[in-house]
Amino acid sequence: MTLSELYTPKQQEVLRYAFNHDYFMLINHGAKRTGKTVIDNDLFLYELKCVKRIATNEGVENPQYILAGANLGNLAKNVLIELTNKYGINFHMDKYNRFKLFGVLVVCTGHSKINDLSRIRGMTAYGAYINEDSLANEEVFNEIKSRCSANGARILIDTSPDQPERWLKRDYIDNPDKSIVDFHFVLDDNTFLNKRYRENIKATTPSGMFYDRDINGLWCAAEGVVYKDFNKDIHYISNLS
C-alpha cells in the first residue's frame, strides 16, 4: 500500500516532521475523529524501536518508556486495543501494569489524578506517550516530563481542545520553541471519513463554541455558556485578578 492509502495528508505531515527532525515534545491537538491518536499510536511504535537502538548503544539492557492515559481503562481503549486490532500485537502486562515491546519496558500509568505520580517517581525514561492530555493533572504531567531524561528522550502528546486558558495550551502550544512542535487538526483533515459523515456532523453541530471545538479544533471556553451561538472572541472573559 502507498503512504497516501495509509495516512491522510495531515498525518503524513506529522510523520515527515517526526522522521526528519529532533524534538522534545510533539503535540497533536484539535477536533475529534481527525486521526490524532491514530498517528501517535504508530509513532509510539516507531519511538520504541528508536529507544531500543539508543539504549543498546549505551549498554542499557532494559530501557523504560512511559505510556500515560487519563486512566488505565482509557489507555487500553485508545491505544493498546487499537494497536492490537491494527497490527495483531499482544500486550502481556505484568502485575505492575508494564509490558515489554521491541525490547523496551513500557510503564503504563494514568495521568488525571495526583496519586498517579507514584507509578513513575524515581524512574528514568527514554520517552513518553501521553494520550488525552487535556485530562491530565499538571503535576503528573510535569513529573512525566521530568522523568524523560535519558538520551534522546521525546514526548508524544495528543489531545482534544479544552479551555483556552488550560496550561497545555498556555504554556506549550502558545509558546513553542525549537524543542516543541504542535500540529492542529480540523475535521476536514481526516480525508478517510466519508463526506456524508462530515457533512452530517457539521450540520448538527451548533455554531459558535461547539462548532469551533468539534469541527475546527479550537480551544474555547465551555463552563457557564448559555448562548447557543457563543463566540469566544466576543463572549469569553479571561480570569480577573
* Residue written as grid cell 463566540: 231
The CATH class of the 3-192 domain is: alpha beta
Amino acid at 186: V
Cut 0.85: pTM above it? yes
- Write down the domain spans for the chain: 3-192
Nearest CA among 229, 227, 187, 223 for reference residue 207: 229
* Residue written as grid cell 479544552: 162
Look at phi and psi of residue 142 and say left if phi exceeds 0, alpha if psi is from -120 to 50, else beta.
alpha
> Helix, strand or coil for residue 134?
helix
Return the C-alpha torsion angle 17, 23, 25, 27, nearest 10.
-10
Amino acid at 224: G
- Render each residue's pLDDT in the chain as its tens digit; 241 residues: 899 999 999 999 999 999 999 999 999 999 999 999 999 999 999 999 999 999 999 999 999 999 999 999 999 999 999 999 999 999 999 999 999 999 999 999 999 999 999 999 999 999 999 999 999 999 999 999 999 999 999 999 999 999 999 999 999 999 878 899 999 999 999 999 999 999 999 999 998 899 999 999 999 986 544 444 545 555 454 554 4
Look at phi and psi of residue 162 and say left if phi exceeds 0, alpha if psi is from -120 to 50, else beta.
beta
